[in-house]
Structure 1
């Protein structure tokens, strides 16, 4: 396997190759991983995400999975990197992590079969598909602000080529405590299927990213929390949650809310489907 990363080196964006605990540029310059300033490992033209894929996540919500995948889009302005700060805006409370595997396209891909799709995949990286569920009631299901707000798509640390996605663990930690413990074996649709499905009508360009879904136990995090996603063979993506410098404006647009859907999705319950509300916290 080969791992490349994008970093800032002497003020310039440089693609480097990982060699042990060092990153090596084509001109021979070396920097220790611990000292590197990381950037997203790729610069896509689009980021496409599957709604539900891991069986544990479907069971958690006690819903019936659709016969075929459904998707949403994260704008490229949501991109973030390894060790980047993830912003929870003021006046928002329900920011959730979602550890995932990201597929990175290597060649222009259009109208291919699942059997051919692997030839168009350059490699894979770790992703955290953060969701700002305070806006769950807006945007008519597109989740544009829930999933597309600035900083909510960390990728990294690197892009790994030659990685076999089958039967690999996927784990998310918050402040060192294990929160998600999944495996790619529980995905309903594998990486090749997802690429072929999207490429039927949407041309995928080199560098484009597809997020392949998260396992159960996505939960809210708070400013100051360290969130790390580790995928077997791909490495560990680390990000710190910070509070945004400005509050969500209250003079325009839909406002952050705490509806039944917001609470049930953020806290991993099935209340919205059973028609009951979550239990109140002691003293509430």
Structure 2
């Protein structure tokens, strides 16, 4: 099931998306009553997806990032992967939706794309054992962990480099029919050129172990997001670029890059 958050006129709702993603004209969305973090019912007639604006699929209380979780990416950044990946937080204000702009602030350094599989938490939880991780996951979405490399090096920690407004695009929807151990392609294109081409089978710490690791440190709330790490191929983005993150079996998240005046 694909669950999206959308606006139509002044109303914002969650809905279920149906149709073939490869045939955009076939896609429809049917509103649901309430939210997807509890049993829900359909609450309206389907409308063409093209008639609504897709929003970020959740508004998380926190986005938990995972660094150096692909060996090839750790090497391209000049090091080896640690025994346990570093954990960091991106503020909720960094979240942007499908086709929203990635806004580069004045005085920014070299800004990179980072395509990632994102885990959406479905219920309040903490200290989740890895064998129960699937019980607390609502589904998966695409993410771009946008990062200012110059600030990352300058600050020696990652909060500012990864935390600017719009530096965490999410979408286009949440796919619930994915298992934690499914092998999925993770890719990124910039202006149609392939930059990243990895697979989740290359994650050094898999989804279930990440849920256990993160929930041992933080209480997770419904809608919280865990970014699982990025494969090799990260690179610069500049104003005017079109960036697309694609997760096999989940969807494609497209963003445009602009400069803030």
TM-score of the aligned structures, taking structure 1 as reference length: 0.82
* Equivalent residues of 1:56, 1:186 under 8 A apart: no
Q: Which moved more, 1:121-130 or 1:196-205?
A: 196-205
The alpha carbon displacement at 1:67 in A equals 1.1
- Where does the alignment leave 5 or more consecutive residues of structure 1 unmatched? 246-284
Deviations 1:42-63 (A, max 9, x none): 1111111001111221232352
Secondary structure of the corresponding residue to residue 43 of structure 1: coil
1:157-196 aligned within 5 A: 157-165=172-180, 166-196=182-212
1:198-217 aligned within 5 A: 198-217=214-233
Deviations 1:147-184 (A, max 9, x none): 00000000000011121352110110111111100000
The alpha carbon displacement at 1:91 in A equals 2.5
1:6-21 aligned within 5 A: 6-20=5-19, 21=27
Residues 62 and 132 of structure 1: is their aligned pair in 2 closer, same or farther, counting only changes over 3 Å?
A: closer
Cα separation, 2, equivalents of 1:37 and 1:116: 35
CA RMSD, aligned part only? 1.4
Cα separation, 2, equivalents of 1:60 and 1:134: 16
How many residues get paired?
243
* Equivalent residues of 1:22, 1:30 under 8 A apart: yes
Q: Is it true that 1:147 corresponds to 2:162 in the alignment?
A: yes
Cα separation, 2, equivalents of 1:239 and 1:92: 18
1:89-128 aligned within 5 A: 89-128=105-144
* Equivalent residues of 2:70, 2:81 under 8 A apart: no
The alpha carbon displacement at 1:34 in A equals 3.0
Cα separation, 2, equivalents of 1:32 and 1:138: 47
Residue 270 (structure 1) aligns with: none
Selected match of 1:156 from 162, 171, 177: 171
Cα separation, 2, equivalents of 1:63 and 1:153: 24
The alpha carbon displacement at 1:5 in A equals 0.4
Deviations 1:1-41 (A, max 9, x none): x0110011121111011011111113324332234212110
Selected match of 1:25 from 28, 31, 36: 31
* Equivalent residues of 2:134, 2:179 under 8 A apart: no
Q: Which moved more, 1:62-71 or 1:197-206?
A: 62-71
